[in-house]
Structure 1
Amino acid sequence: MKSLPTERVAGLSTAFVALAALCWGLSGGIGGILTGEGWDPVVVSFYRGAIGFLFVLAWLALRPRGSGLGNKKLWLWSLLAGVGVAGNFAFYFLSIAEGSVAVAAMLMYCAPVFVYLVSFTLRLEQPSVFKWVAIVMVLLGVVLLTGIYDVGAGEVTLVAAGAGLLSGLSYAVFIFGFKYAAPHGSPQAILVIAFAVMAVILFALGNPEQTVAVLSTSSWPLFLILGVIGAGLSFIFYIIGLNHTAPAVASIVAMVEPVTASLFGVAVLGESLGLVQLLGMALILVTVTALSVYSNSRRKVASV
């Protein structure tokens, strides 16, 4: 049996990454619909994660080799990843409920900035002028996007802005947990533990009545779609796609998520963005993507 050409494999892998980002962008829009109907953001997050857990569990059952489930370090870092993804999902949908899909998605896209700040603090990454300038530019973009410089007149509430930034910070925690768990086991094993921890946390924090009511509501198809594309297939697509996708390319392709979420909010939910907000979005998108590409290129040079 002939193997696929390297170029074709890379193209397919990049397509998987783009598809995962598209799924995450759409999940923000679906979350906006559900929270707009009055569903608790934590309950929405729970079902997104719980359904995703079933998918990664099936993935682990099909690919059990090298799981590393007997390794204590795998469990430790995967537990941290679970706390991170729980916060990411919950704060993201809270930001959507209190503000808009576009703003929430863009604030979460700031996650790489939090990764750098934590790395600087833990001395895992060396700061540079470029990195600090990029961080300042992203913060300026956040200010323009949220309008926090004029709270009284701004359309974005402090709760929405704060929750959006916390979703990005939580995603950074997930990234760290997953990164340090990876050497000790398989991606599917890490995700199973992380999603199980996330489901337990969100179930405990959610509204019990609403959690049960979802099972008999007419909105259950949206919850199912959210879980399938927002946590089930998307994470699997992303992990598989990263195997043969250059990190710099993945960083650029990741822009599909906030752009998709923003377009969904404007086209489907009737959200609107002012000129200053659009400028803030553009500043965040360009700077975060440039920062990611710069970081990946530096790592590649350092490894040569």
Structure 2
Amino acid sequence: MAGASTALVALAALCWGLSGGIAAMLMGSGWEPVVVAFCRGAIGFLFACAWLLLRPGGSGLGSAGLWFWSVLAGFGVAGNFAFYSISIAQGSVAVAVTLMYSAPAIVYLVSFALRLESLTPVKLVAIALVMLGIILLTQVYDTSIDGITLLGIAAGLLAGLCYAVFIFGFKYAAPHGSPQAVLTIAFAVVAISLIWPAGADRSIAVLGAPELPLFILLGVLGAGLSFALYVTGLKRTAPTVASIVAMVEPVTAALFGVVVIGESLTAPQGLGIALILFTVTVLSLHSPAKRP
């Protein structure tokens, strides 16, 4: 069962990677990042609601713990969707998704600064390598490059912090109820959080747009199906294993951006991506989280 659960997490990460490329295509067609993020969450909510109506048993909707952790996860998802879309719009899919996955090292750095965690040689080297990877990836040392903005870098890192929040929320919500109940609450929070910044008029305009099939595909792959797979798989997958298997997402997103959308990566950027993904994987292995 553990192997099957890990496979579900890997499939979810694959769907997330593809959704990053689809989001980039939609924004390339002129859609604002926050509208893309809202539609992704709203379609996820419809998917989760349908699943809950079809299988209402054991939902756990009467549990306060389910509501608390699911709402927390929902805010994490909303922030992740919004900041990730902004980062893609301000840079590229590969840069945005890799910055998002550098978040664990950033969390460690903040923890050290606040003296919440002790500094070890392994963690110090890991943070230094991630910082070097970010410098190479964003090419902040080259003032002649205009493709990546400070807003894009900041949004990518914030997407990563929100990613950590929703993983944490989903992990602790899972024991209190069914996956479909957790997702319904979480995506309701996403839709409510993003409807105002997205704007009702702009969101409704999606229904008559020629890009509607792409929006539906984004919602199904990037929210509905992927999160159903992830929350189901997470019940029997250790957090450390899940974080490593989820590296399928940045690899898929980067390849989609280069092969399908035609984004380009320089040799230093490729090295930066490799450094960040390798280091975050080692960091996850070195600091295993306890199962709740």
TM-score by length of structure 2 reads 0.89
Residues 1:96 and 2:88 are matched in the alignment: yes
Q: Distance in 2 between matches of 1:17 and 1:179?
A: 13
The residue that corresponds to 1:191 in the other structure is 183
Residues 1:72 and 2:64 are matched in the alignment: yes
Given the alignment, which residue of 18, 26, 37 partners 1:34? Answer: 26
Deviation sequence 1:67-90 (CA, Å, 0-9, x none): 332333432332222221111001
The residue that corresponds to 2:121 in the other structure is 129
The residue that corresponds to 2:227 in the other structure is 235
Offset, 1:120: 6.3
Count of matched residue pairs: 292
The answer to whether the 8 A contact 1:31-1:44 is kept is yes
Q: Distance in 2 between matches of 1:44 and 1:19?
A: 22
Local SS of the residue matching 1:271: coil
After superposition, where does 1:73-222 map in structure 2 within 5 Å? 73-116=65-108, 128-153=120-145, 155-222=147-214
Answer with 235-244 or 43-52: which moved more.
235-244
Q: Distance in 1 between matches of 2:114 and 2:60?
A: 26
Q: Distance in 1 between matches of 2:60 and 2:105?
A: 31
Q: Distance in 2 between matches of 1:216 and 1:154?
A: 34
Deviation sequence 1:84-135 (CA, Å, 0-9, x none): 1111001111111111011011111123335545766898866543233322
Q: Distance in 1 between matches of 2:260 and 2:175?
A: 42
TM-score by length of structure 1 reads 0.86
Offset, 1:65: 4.0
Q: Distance in 1 between matches of 2:120 and 2:237?
A: 27
Deviation sequence 1:142-181 (CA, Å, 0-9, x none): 1111112344546311111111111111112223333444
Q: Distance in 2 between matches of 1:214 and 1:177?
A: 30
Q: Which amino acid aligns with 1:50?
A: A
Given the alignment, which residue of 273, 282, 290 partners 1:290? Answer: 282
The answer to whether the 8 A contact 2:179-2:232 is kept is no
Structure 1: any 5+ residue segments left out of the alignment? 1-8
Residues 1:261 and 2:253 are matched in the alignment: yes
The answer to whether the 8 A contact 2:76-2:162 is kept is yes
Q: Distance in 1 between matches of 2:177 and 2:140?
A: 43
Q: Distance in 2 between matches of 1:117 and 1:163?
A: 18
Q: Distance in 1 between matches of 2:132 and 2:74?
A: 30
Q: Which amino acid aligns with 2:11?
A: L
Compared with structure 1, are the counterparts of its residues 121 and 78 closer, same or farther at alpha carbon in structure 2 (3 Å cutoff)? farther
